[in-house]
Every structure is written in structure tokens, then in C-alpha cells.
Amino acid sequence: MTRSLALAIALLTTSVNAAEGVSSREYAARRQLVASAIGPRSILVMFSAQPARRNGSVEWPYRQNDNLYYLTGNTQPDSALVLLPGEPATSEVLFARERNPQQERWSGRIPSAEELRAGTGIATIAGADGLNGFIAAVLEGRSWSPAGRPLSFADPIAPSFSEAVRRGEAEVWLLMERRPPLDGDLPPVLEYAGRLRARYPEIRFRDATPVLRGLREVKTAAELELMRRAIDITGDAQLAAMRLAMTATNEKQIDDAIDRAYREGGACCWGFPSIVAAGANATTLHYHANDAVIRRGDLVLTDIGADYQGYTADVTRTYPAGGRFTAEQRAVHDAVFRAQEEVIRIARAGNTWRELSDKAHQVLGEELLELGLITRNEPEQVRMYFFHGIGHHVGLQVHDTGRYQQLRPGMVIAIEPGIYVRKDDVLASPTYAKLGEEEKSRVAGALERYNGIGVRIEDNVLVTGGAPEHLSRKAPRSAADIEKFMNGARVSSPAP
């Protein structure tokens, strides 16, 4: 390992203060790891996300491509990062829009080259229009100047890369993972790759996605601090939601309280749209309407995550509107709680995602058998009530990138068992159809009793060298703690 690579790794594991965010030195260290993974005969080109149009002249709020953000902190559209690890003079170039008063009076200030240099740690900042000329100069062994005019008789911009081209060893790395459907339009990066391929058939093309995936699945100390903040704010939002559930009459009131808690806590916004689901709505996994009536006997499920400096949390609580579980609601909640406890216990370095999933199915199966909702503890029967994965990485994306094999220290993961009782779906399922008559009538009886109950409990956990660290403890999780909190909130709320 080179000394600079060792320094980069040391920097990424040093603890920092969340308020400081990610330093330009850390971005440089991340790029150094990528550069060392792709090697000196390579060029990497990474584009900013395209602004997304909602309809007509209305755009969605802009969100940078996560990998570009991870390597630079740059939030500008129309920008691109180029890495040339074998070229000491131009090893890193950021192409970005230049300041433009005419444009800025419509869409806000564009950062200056000095600001981009300071924020990203990239020495060479060039205008966005220069990208194609630069790439052509690199691939064709020509000179290049930021002004875009070729310099006669000047040296090639990337001499050692040109040498690799001559030897037939050059590689162009792009983020190409998103495969389009066979009959769909090509995403812009693949169109770009196709154009380069046609023009430079001697050059190999490589997908940089696995390199970024390998880096991002383990969080750096700075990322962890940002995630702790996102998770903490989300915990406050869960507490606000539980308090309000004592009196709220519509899901949208709770939805509003969650957004308010995010802003008060210093988050910009949500990391994914909140799910606020009362009663049987909680049995729809991606329920987003958030506008139904809440009745006092309902359970309310809030699956939410604040975004703090680009990082999201992902925490779910399910609690009774009114503060007391019915016997049936509590039985289902206890079942999910036990499954979650058992899975969190084995969220340890060296264990696999497969083992976590198997544990969840095994414990949920035992519990569903106890509830009478299944007749044998078999994954196929369990899947009638638990029909999503046990968890995922969390980070810049709520379902963050990762290899999903063995757990390693520094991973932040969500663990989210659930039971969703949808009587009509179960009765219509092939699994139910295969049961014997006596089994069917037993299950049908239990379905009558628990129909419409949906419970998910989701927590964010840091995998360590030892016991997992439970990051989202702030909001009560067990039925007893939830009832205690909610009824304490009732007692302590001021008289109307």
C-alpha cells in the first residue's frame, strides 16, 4: 500500500464532529481510494444527476448523483468529475457551470471556481462546456487548455494515459450499472459510452459502480456523525408523531408534525416520503396518501427518515392512536418486536444478510404459529404476512448501495421485520389454497381476529467489531415503552 493510500484510509476512519460535515480532505481521500482501485491507465468520468422535470415548467427539487456527491460534495447540476490517476498534473478535474449573472437572477447563485476548489479539494476547476474537448484531447493524445482552444505544439494533456492507449491498455470507467429495460431508452451514460465506443474502439470500458459500492457500504467516521444526526432528528419526529397520535384525527396532521420536527432539528427535508398509515393502511407497504381519518382504536405506523446533509435515516414505529394497544394489536406487535430483537442481536461482523433474513423468518414463523395465522413454520407460509426483505444498508440512499453479503464493522443497516394481516389476500393466495380443510378453517378464524393489523418496527444499527450499536433508540420501541411514553405525554400535555 502506498503512503498516500494509507493516509487516505487513516483520515476516513478518524472521528469528526457532525457540525463540520465532510471536509475537502476527506473528499480527496475518497477519490484517492477510487484512483487506486482503477489504476494509472484509467480515466473515470462521472456525471451529475439530470434535473428531473415534474411536468410543464416545474422541476423536482434537484438531488445530486450520490456517487458524485460522495466523491466531491458538489451539488451543482451540469457538472462532471474526471479522474486520471496516472497524470500528476491533471489527476482530478471538476467541470462545472461558471458564474453567470444572467442565469443567476433566475435560478440562484452559481458557486465560483474558488468555492468549488475549497469545498471539493479539487485543484483544477474547468467550465462545464470544456468536458467534451478535454475527453477528446485525453483520448486522442492532444493538448488541452481550459479556454477550449488547442495549443499548437503543446504537450499532450495526459501523456501516460496516451501511452496506455498506444499499448492498448487504456480503460474508461463510467457509472454504468443501471441497465435499461431491453425495449426502453438508453440512460444518458450508456448513450455516452456508446458514442465513445464508436469513436475509440481500441479502448476498454469499465463500470465503476462496484468500486463505489464497495467504498460506500462501510461508512466513514464523518458519514457516521451525519447519520447519527439524521437518525436523532428522526427519533424526535417519531416522538412528536406519537404524542400527536393521542388526539390526531387525520394522518396528514401527523405527517405535518413529522416535517416540522425535521426542520426544527436542522434537517432540510425527508430522505424518502413519509409513510403515515392508520388502521389497515399500515398493511400497504408503500402507503403514501397520508390523508385518511384516524380512529382512536387504530394503530398508526410511521415509517420515516430525515435527510441531514444528504444522509437519511429509516425508522418505523407502530403505536396505538389513543395510547393503549388492544390485545390483538399488542400480540402482533410483541411478535414483531421479538423477531427484531433476535435479528439485531446477530447483526454482527462476519454474519451474512442471509442469516439475518433466515432468523427473521424463523422467529416470525414461531410467532405466527402462536397467533394461529399459519399452520407450519415454513417460509412460504410466513411470506403470507411478511413479504419484504429484513433490511438494507442506509446512507445517502434509504436503500443504500452495498454488496449484501457479509456484515462488516462500520456498516449502518436498517432492520425491519413486519407482520401485515390482509385477510382477503391470504384467502386468495396459492399458499392458503394448498392447506387442508381443517388448517384452512383454523387460519380463517385467526384472520378474522387479526385482519387489518399491520405492524413494522424498523431500527438503524451500526455494525461494530463487537455488539451492534442501536442508533435509533430514541423513540420507544416495545409495546410497554410505547404505552408508557404516550400516556406520559397525555398527562404532561397542558390543559386545553
Would you count residue 398 as binding ligand GLY (CB under 6 A)?
Answer: yes
DSSP code of 250?
A: B
CB of 288: closest distance to Mn ion in angstroms? 12
Cα separation, 174 vs 266, in Å, equals 35
Minimum CB distance to ligand GLY smaller for 92 or for 416: 416
The string of DSSP letters for 339-384 reads: HHHHHHHT--TT-BHHHHHHHHHHHHHHHHHHHTS-SS--HHHHTT
Residue 399: CB minimum distance to ligand GLY, A = 6
Interface with ligand GLY includes 459 (CB under 6 A)?
no
The answer for residues whose C-beta is within 8 angstroms of residue 450's C-beta and 6 or more apart is 328, 331, 332, 371, 373, 421
- The grid coordinates listed for 193 are 459510452
Mark 434-473 with x for binding to Mn ion (rule: CB under 5 A) and - for no binding. Answer: ------------------------x---------------
DSSP-derived pairing of the beta strands 412-415 and 418-420: unpaired
Using the rule CB under 5 A, which residue among 26, 225, 303, 307 binds Mn ion? 303
Where helices occur in 246-270 by DSSP H, the ranges are 251-265
Tell me the closest approach of the beta carbon of residue 344 to ligand GLY, in angstroms.
15
449: exposed, middle or buried (Cβ count in 10 Å: 0-12, 13-18, 19+): middle
226 binds, among ligand GLY, Mn ion, none (CB under 5 to 8 A by kind): none
Interacting positions 45-104 with ligand GLY (CB under 6 A): none
Minimum CB–partner distance for residue 265 and Mn ion (Å): 18
Looking at beta carbons only, is 97 or 477 nearer to ligand GLY? 477
Closest CB to ligand GLY among 422 and 456?
456
Smallest gap, in angstroms, from Cβ of residue 316 to Mn ion? 5
Q: Which three cell numbers stand for residue 242?
A: 406519537
- What is the rounded CA–CA span in Å between residue 226 and residue 247? 33
Q: Among residues 96 and 336, whose Cβ is nearest to ligand GLY? A: 336
Question: Residue 255, interface with ligand GLY (CB under 6 A)?
Answer: no
Cβ-proximal residues to 53 (8 Å cutoff; 6+ apart), any chain: 59, 60
Nearer to ligand GLY, 232 or 416 (CB): 416
Pick one of ligand GLY, Mn ion, none as the site partner of residue 272 (Cβ within 5 to 8 A by kind): ligand GLY
Under the criterion CB under 5 A, does residue 414 sit at the interface with Mn ion? yes
Q: How far is the CB of 329 from ligand GLY (least distance, A)?
A: 20
- State yes or no: residue 303 binds ligand GLY (CB under 6 A): yes
Rounded to whole angstroms, the Cα distance separating 429 from 426 reads 5
Work out the number of other CB atoms within 10 angstroms of the CB of residue 389: 14
Nearest to 156, CA basis, from 168, 169, 173, 139 = 139
| Binding residue for ligand GLY, selected from 48, 458, 463, 468, defined by CB under 6 A | 458
Name the strand (E) or helix (H) holding 25. Answer: helix 24-38
Nearer to Mn ion, 30 or 317 (CB): 317
Calpha distance 204→201 (Å, rounded): 8
Query: Of 251 and 303, which CB lies nearer to ligand GLY in the complex structure?
Result: 303
Nearest distance, CB of residue 416 and ligand GLY, angstroms = 5
Q: Which stretch binds Mn ion (CB under 5 A): 222-230, 321-329, 411-419, 479-487?
A: 411-419
Phi, psi dihedral angles at 213 (to 5 degrees): -65, -45
From the list 43, 44, 41, 45, the residue with the least C-alpha distance to 160 is 41
Size of the site for ligand GLY (CB under 6 A): 6
Q: Is 92 in the site for Mn ion (CB under 5 A)?
A: no
> Is 314 near ligand GLY (CB under 6 A)?
yes
Which parts of this chain interact with ligand GLY (CB under 6 A)?
A: 272, 303, 314, 398, 416, 458
Which parts of this chain interact with Mn ion (CB under 5 A)?
A: 303, 314, 414, 416, 458
